[in-house]
Amino acid sequence: MTAERFRLKPAVHVLLVRDDHVLLLRREHTGYEDGNYSVIAGHLDGGEEVKTAAIREAREEAGIAIAPDNLRVVGVMHRFSQRATGPDERINFFVAAERWSGAIVNAEPEKCGDLSWFAVDALPSNTIPYVRRAIANYRAGRWFDSFGWESANVSQTMAPRDEENGERSAPA
């Protein structure tokens, strides 16, 4: 029997930037980091290029249109966290836009309690930690980072690898 290969969960995060400010939204009623600030973000739907996903998320969450040429990929983050359901490993793409069309609105009020501009050097204290780090990375020109691995004891949280084929065995 062949073990199922490990799959990363890809997401895209959109940094809308204006005059040294970034647009943040406060998550509500989502079941993940509710009450904390993030940027526009969402999972890739599969068969979807990163910039296409960013454009979709910006339209869905803020009601704006961004042309692909106005998006720059500014970072990638490999994240690890321990959740109630077990280890969670993700790959996040960060894109930045300084130009878009349409007025920014809270297009998902059932998931977003606030949509506001904040100075990049004065983010709210309840900004999600990996998002805070990604914004700092963007400001510093740091293109790649890992987050959450510092406190992870991966050998205890991940299934062991099969020595013959290198694949992880399914949990018992």
Rounded to 5 degrees, φ, ψ at 83 are: -110, 170
In a domain, 166, yes or no: no
**Cα gap 138→92, rounded to integer Å:** 13
- Identify the CATH number of the domain in which residue 148 sits: 3.90.79.10
Q: What is the pTM of this model?
A: 0.85
pLDDT at residue 112 is higher than 70: yes
The pLDDT tens digits of the residues spanning 41-80 come to 999 998 999 999 999 999 999 999 999 999 999 999 999 9
In a domain, 1, yes or no: no
In which domain, by residue range, is 149 found?
A: 9-157
pLDDT at residue 167 is higher than 50: no
Give me the number of domains the chain comprises. 1
In a domain, 99, yes or no: yes
**Cα gap 15→94, rounded to integer Å:** 7
Query: For 105-132, what is the mean pLDDT?
Result: 97
